[in-house]
Amino acid sequence: MRLTTALFRFKHPNGHMYHGKYRLVKAVTNESFRALRWDYEIEEQNMLLLRYPYLTVEQSSGHMKDLRADPVSKWNKEKSEKFSKITTLEDRLMHLKVRDTWD
């Protein structure tokens, strides 16, 4: 196999191909320029939404009051509901029950 002729045909940079002092720099194409412009347009739309929000300050005040009301008691309540149920051995082995009778 003549791999060495293919590798020595072009000069490769020292170290990583696309990082560092001796990196290969990709040429700017119309496609990359179009993609960058598309990214900037999306960023501008996002900034517009952030500058002019859907709700005003007066409308958004107090909208999280229900969610922030004593989270520790809410957590304790959920924990007690989850773990307070008494599980018996019969409940654990319910899937092994045979309903058909043998002759």
pTM higher than the cut 0.85: no
Closest-CA residue to 11 (of 2, 20, 27, 24) = 24
- Tell me, what's the pLDDT at 101? 65
- Tell me, what's the pLDDT at 102? 64
Taking CA atoms, 67 is separated from 54, 81, 102, in Å, by 21, 19, 56
Residue ranges of domains in the chain: 3-96
pLDDT, mean of residues 41-54? 92
Q: Are 70 and 76 in contact (CB under 8 A)?
A: no
pLDDT, mean of residues 25-31? 92
CB atoms within 10 A of CB 80: 10
